[in-house]
Amino acid sequence: MNIVLLGAPGAGKGTQAKLIEEKYGLTHIATGDIFRANIKGGTPIGKLAKSYIDAGKLVPDEVTCELVKDRLVNGEEGAGFMLDGFPRNLYQAEELDKFARIDLCINIDVDKSLLMDRICGRRMCSCGASYHVSTLNGATTCAKCGKPLFQREDDNPQTVGARLDTYASQTAPLEDYYKARGKLVTVDGGSGTPEEVFAVISSVIDKYLK
């Protein structure tokens, strides 16, 4: 099965994607991760993407759609895939429907007032784990693998403000897009622990697979 994970920055898409990948074997494809790897590698795509990412804006559609299309056409997705951070506007959603079949859109809903603190307090590990600074008790390494934690460059208040605005104006309308196609399931991502949110998501996926 193929899933789109929808949700504002800080809603927990990456955390849930990791748990879904472990349990269901779906391949996790995160456009933000692909862009960051390109920036790190100094590729032409990375150079182009950096200015947009730093400004909290979307990287141009042609570049992003081509990247995802290539990945899906050339990748081996046994059990299926899960898109995290794509599509992010109506154009991308329409393009995606031309080159892939989407079965389900899981929308992780979190109150906007929680997001700024969640993102600005976020500390990441290259293994994919993420933490909130308030729970680290001063630790600077990952509890899962021991590698040093870091803060994403775009997890600063100014860029986060722009990312949230971009989400509201361009990405949130995708809820209606998938709802109109009978594919949207909205899950509360704001009141439970990641494990509790995952239990709800699991039940949604299990119901679909039956």
- Residues engaged in binding ligand AMP (CB under 6 A): 9, 31-32, 35, 52-53, 56-59, 64, 85-86, 88, 92, 163
Residue number, 133 or 208, with CB nearest to ligand AMP:
133
The nearest distance, CB 63 to ligand AMP, in angstroms, is 8
Per-residue buried b or exposed e for 164-179, using 16+ beta carbons within 10 Å of the residue's own CB: bebbeebbeebeebbe
| Residue nearest ligand AMP, CB atom distance | 32
The reply to whether 118 belongs to the active site is no
Residue number, 132 or 207, with CB nearest to ligand AMP:
132
The reply to whether 144 belongs to the active site is no
The nearest distance, CB 154 to ligand AMP, in angstroms, is 6
The nearest distance, CB 143 to ligand AMP, in angstroms, is 22
Residue number, 36 or 185, with CB nearest to ligand AMP:
36
Cα pseudo-dihedral 149, 54, 116, 109, rounded to 10? -100
Tokens representing residue 38 in the block:
């390109």
Residue tagged active-site, from 13, 18, 36, 118: 13
**What distance, in Å, lies between the first and last C-alpha atoms of the chain?**
12
Residue number, 28 or 142, with CB nearest to ligand AMP:
28
The nearest distance, CB 59 to ligand AMP, in angstroms, is 4
Residue tagged active-site, from 18, 36, 122, 123: 122
Distance CA 57, CA 21 (A): 28
CA 9 to chain centroid, in Å, comes to 8
CA angle 158, 156, 87 (to 5 degrees): 85
CA angle 191, 175, 179 (to 5 degrees): 110
The nearest distance, CB 162 to ligand AMP, in angstroms, is 8
The reply to whether 13 belongs to the active site is yes
The reply to whether 163 belongs to the active site is yes
Distance CA 125, CA 168 (A): 27
Residue number, 9 or 104, with CB nearest to ligand AMP:
9
Residue tagged active-site, from 18, 36, 88, 118: 88
In contact, 76 and 82? CB cutoff 8 Å = no
Distance CA 38, CA 182 (A): 35
The reply to whether 40 belongs to the active site is no
Residue tagged active-site, from 50, 71, 152, 179: 152
**Which residues are known catalytic residues?**
13, 88, 122, 152, 163
